[in-house]
Structure 1
Amino acid sequence: MTRNPRPRQARGRSRVGERFTAEVGPIAHGGHCVVRLPEPEARVVFVRHALPGETVVLEITEGTEGDRFWRGDAVEVTTASPDRVTAPCLFSGPGACGGCDFQHVAMPAQRELKATVVREQLRRLAGLDLPVVVEAVPGDQDGLRWRTRVEYAETRDGRRGMRKHRSRDVVPIDDCLIAAVPPVEEVAQRPSRNQGTSIEVVGSHEFSRAADGFWQVHPGAPTVLVETVLDFLQPRPGESVMDLYAGVGLFARFLGEAVGAGGEVLAVEGDRVACEHAVGNLAGLPKARVEAGPVAKVLERLDSPPADLVVLDPPREGAKRKVVEQVVSSAPRAVAYVACDPSALARDIAIFAEHGYRLERLRAFDLFPMTHHVECVALLEQ
């Protein structure tokens, strides 16, 4: 649930372990707050387990004399925010499990912090000043017990655990409170009639996928995302649709039904196993086809076929310029962009804007409570 930092060359004397008392500044993208240390340090420190406006004692966890910024943890709170709560998880906090960023934050404030980050990324990277509300989604228990699949690490003595933030060190954990109940291994990898395959139900449809293949981990996510995409695009009978980064065909299935027998659906997905499942999941749609391969290469091979509607659901790094411009060349009347990273979304929205596509609607969903992650759906139209 955490990423390991890239090895880098030290730039002078290490400051790790040093402590400073400081006032906490605004939230930043990535689950930390900004602290600006005065002279003689004169450094920006990205601090976890803090809240804007608090006064804390922070401990440097990464940083040397020559670094432009440092990382740290709030190890003591001198003046607490009214939004601070006692973390429900015993394994959360400085030096502990790195999987959750906001266990110390009340749920409404978590969503406001995420909304602040989305607004800031849109303003900074896309030049847009918009109100943003992060919506709760049914399927969790006050932010807990929602993650239907969890990858655990193993301690040296064989116990289940989680890694510390930006570290390979493992913290033993007997119960991850954001993991679904019953234990995640039994839920997420329960085989169906076909060995190695899981069945997911959305509305009246069953979707097959590889047991270890991608699927939204919040139980309420597939339904709310499908409903939002359909509401944004307002598909009409006879229209053509491209579902890019289509996975096992979740959006393509519902859009294919909406455009009817006279419409066409093209699903493009880079994972060949997911494509095999998508073929089955789209069975019965008369003019649906699945193309396997990287989205940019498939669209290049197909010469960016015309499309009335496009769904983009790229990985965390976003669609990027080449794919955005291929989508634009297909001249869709509307694009629904499903994004798990607000900075990538904002960068791609700016590219769409270069070609006359405006952000008309945006919804943000709290599909990852207790973490800094947020899912957005954007509608782009000319």
Structure 2
Amino acid sequence: MSRLRTPYEVGDRVEATIGPVAHGGHMVARLPFEDTSVVVFVRHALPEERVVIEITDVAKRFLRGDAVEILEPSPDRVEAPCALAGPGGCGGCDFQHVALPAQRRLKAAVVSEQLKRLAGIDHDVAVEQVRGSADGLHWRTRMQYVGLPEGRYGLRKNHSHEIVPVEDCLIEAPGARIVLAGEPPVRGTVTETVLGRSFDVAGDGFWQVHPGAPETLVGAVMDLLAPQPGERAMDLYAGVGLFSAFLAEAVGPTGSVTSIEGDRRASDLAGSNLADLRHVKTRAGRVDRVLAELDTMADIVVLDPPREGARKEVVDAVVDLAPRAVAYVACDPAALARDLSYFAARGYKLANLRSFDMFPMTHHVECVALIERVG
């Protein structure tokens, strides 16, 4: 891979004033170069701070760096509670040096920027606190570590295979499930309870890692969609049936729910979790392929794709169902914005958006978008 033509090399240190936040937990700064400037994505900084940046990578079109000295700190800067959160530490937390309200403002700015840049949508965004992590610590109920000798654990540095030993990760929840990289998959199931309903989940299967996330997301989806008795609902990328269960309760026995999940084990568990709801049908298979096989329409759709988003083929298939509304659950604002542009091209618009701080101390943010047919 060719490198950016620049006078800056890895290890160089240079003073700069930090610009806006960027998607991915970095801040943007510009360093002088000839009659223009070169972009550097900086970790451990805040907008408008004056810092010393150490260059950590020279990529094809930009630089990466760490703020190793803070010359003029932001009023939003705090002392990181974990000694491993700064330069040279583990790569798990992006924002421990930022006060929690400011963390949420940064995340809101990223969501707004992605919507504008990728979908042409101007939308005011506010990131909401989620029950269960008032101080932003001890919330992660599943941790993946690298195993080290003598039963110790470690985490990898940002953009590196280098492992940092970790004695006490401050975002790990008490009693968290521990997964070791490279170890065989965990067998068996665990039971999770949401709003009084139990769900069996594979030991190595997907489930939200913030303890308040499932209830928060169910509440947001149901509030935005407002399912009505007798409606036909689709739950796409349904996992073990979390949204399907509450959709089924809302549409009642005169309605129907089709739950589609690509992972066979998760789909089988959804069938068991939803066995008492006779008006729910579970289907295993790739969402686009299953939708192509169905000869049906839908009134409402829940779309909860993986991080890369639904993509155009699935968006087109959803639009072909002619739903009155879609609730899109997104863990990546860039993928959400891209897919919203596909919906817009087919006559659907963003009607509402809620964003949640389900990953405090990191740059990650969860969104639930309500998408409605125009006209």
Residue deviations 1:285-335 (CA, integer Å, cap 9, x gap): 1221111111111111225x3000000000111001000000000000110
Q: 2:182 matched to which residue of 1?
A: none
Contact 2:4–2:61 (Cα < 8 Å) also in 1: no
Structure 1 partner of 2:183: none
* Cα distance, 1:9 vs structure 2: 5.7
Conserved 8 A contact 1:150-1:179? yes
Amino acid at match of 1:200: E
TM-score (norm 1): 0.92
Q: How does 1:171-190 map to 2 (within 5 A)?
A: 171-185=164-178
Q: TM-score, normalised by structure 2?
A: 0.94
Match of 1:135 among 128, 131, 134: 128
Greater shift in the superposed pair: 89-98 or 35-44: 35-44
Measured after TM superposition, the shift of residue 159 of structure 1 is 2.5
Per the alignment, do residues 10 and 131 of structure 1 end up closer, same or farther by CA in structure 2, a change over 3 Å counting?
Answer: closer
Contact 2:263 2:284 in 1 (8 A): yes
Give the share of equivalent positions with the same residue, in percent.
60
Query: Could you say what secondary structure the match of 1:299 adopts?
Result: helix
Counterpart pick for 2:19 among 25, 33, 40: 25
User: SS at 2:329's partner residue?
Assistant: strand
Measured after TM superposition, the shift of residue 130 of structure 1 is 1.1
The correspondence of residues 238-277 of structure 1 with structure 2, limited to 5 A, is: 238-277=230-269
- For 1:296, the equivalent position in structure 2 comes to 288
User: What is the aligned residue count?
Assistant: 365
Is 2:362 aligned against 1:367? no
Is the counterpart of residue 114 in structure 1 residue 107 in structure 2? Answer: yes
* 1:44 correspondence with 2:39: yes
Q: In structure 1, how many angstroms separate the alpha carbons of the residues matched to 2:102 and 2:4?
A: 37
Q: Which residue of 2 aligns with 1:197?
A: 189
Please say if 1:226 is aligned against 2:218: yes
37-46 or 105-114, larger mean C-alpha shift:
37-46
Sort the Cα spacing of 1:201 and 1:72 in 2 relative to 1 into closer, same or farther, 3 A.
Answer: same
Deviation at 1:233, TM superposition (A): 0.8
Q: Conserved in 2, the CA contact under 8 Å of 1:154 and 1:170? A: no
Secondary structure in structure 1 of the residue aligned to 2:191: strand
Which residue does the alignment assign to 1:381? 372
- Report the equivalent of 1:4: none
The amino acid of 2:365's aligned partner reads: V
Classify the secondary structure of the residue corresponding to 1:343.
helix
Q: State the partner residue of 1:74.
A: 67
Post-superposition Cα deviations, 1:239-279, rounded to whole Å, max 9, x if no partner, equal 11100000000000000111111111111111000001000
| Cα deviations by residue, 1:13-65 (Å, 9 ceiling, x for unpaired) | 9811111100000000000000110124831000000000001100111106x
2:318 is aligned with what amino acid?
A: V
Q: Secondary structure at the match of 2:144?
A: coil
The match for 1:215 is: 207
The 2-side partners of 1:141 and 1:199 are apart by 25
2-structure distance, mates of 1:91, 1:180: 17
Q: Quote the offset at 1:204 in angstroms.
A: 1.5
Shift of 1:181: 1.1
- Give how far 1:141 is off: 4.0
SS of the equivalent of 1:154 reads strand
- Counterpart AA for 1:348: D
Which has the larger share of strand?
2
* Deviations 1:81-128 (CA, angstroms, capped at 9, x unpaired): 000000001211111110000000000000000000001011111111
2:301 equivalent to 1:315: no
Deviation at 1:344, TM superposition (A): 0.6
Q: Is the 2:84–2:90 Cα contact (8 Å) retained in structure 1?
A: yes
For structure 2, which runs of at least 5 residues remain unmatched after alignment?
180-186
Mapped partners of 2:107, 2:4: distance in 1: 33
Checking the alignment, whether the CA contact within 8 Å between 1:54 and 1:77 is kept in structure 2 is: yes
One-letter code aligned to 2:216? V
Asked if 1 retains the 8 angstrom alpha-carbon contact of 2:3 and 2:61, the reply is no
Deviating above 4 A after TM superposition, structure 1's stretches of 4 or more consecutive aligned residues are 8-14
Please say if residues 155 and 171 of structure 1, whose CA atoms lie closer than 8 Å, have aligned partners that are also in contact. no
The answer as to 2:140 corresponding to 1:144 is: no
Is this contact kept in 2: 1:162–1:171, CA < 8 A?
Answer: yes
Match of 1:331 among 299, 317, 322: 322
